[in-house]
Amino acid sequence: MKPFYALFALTLAASVGACNPSPEMDSLDADTPQDMAFHSPAIATAEPDEGDTLNAADTLSLSPFKPATVEIYCSFHRPAQNGELGDLIFMTEIAGVPAPAAIGLEGQPVRLEEVSKSAKEGAGVWTYHNAQRPVEVQLTLTETAEGSEYRSYEGTIRITDPALGDIIPIEGTCGV
């Protein structure tokens, strides 16, 4: 199965280079048909064979990033340590219903679209994806405080597709 991972890495690198992602992207919700043409659908449909297992080296990892906008509605960070806010891991914009979101993936900002928001065992479960990359992310959040114009949360975030990633604790707020 090693050739699959090599092919996956080469295809991913080619698609990332073709769409030229940069932290200075104009808008998180600016998907154009041209952007979609550079991504190989083979990556999105590739599944590991039975018996093959993915190890940590084969999974994508979330990373800090600098948002391309200051119009942020929800922002989630690694938990604060020594009174300092942790790195930004996930954010949503103010504009749009549902609002576009972004994560840092392998050091680059990646746009996301909302798939669903539901409740499970007293926690909110938010799922977002990027069909072109492809990646799917799931946040599991518990509300910790509420004000007139904001809500605070703590919980976890993890990549759920193309393979399960590490569970990362997060905390953050939504509101103005």
Per-residue pLDDT of the chain in tens (176 residues, 90 and over written 9): 444 444 444 444 444 444 444 443 444 444 433 333 333 222 222 333 344 444 444 568 888 888 888 889 999 999 988 889 899 999 999 887 888 999 998 888 999 999 999 999 889 999 999 988 889 999 999 999 999 999 999 999 999 888 888 999 999 999 97
Contacts (Cβ under 8 Å, ≥6 apart) of 105? 60, 61, 62, 63, 133, 135
What residue numbers bound the domain in which 34 lies? 2-175
Helix (H) or strand (E) holding 175: strand 168-175
Burial of 66 (0-12, 13-18, 19+ CB in 10 A): exposed
**Alpha carbons 6 and 126: distance in angstroms, whole number:** 31
Number of domains the chain is built from: 1
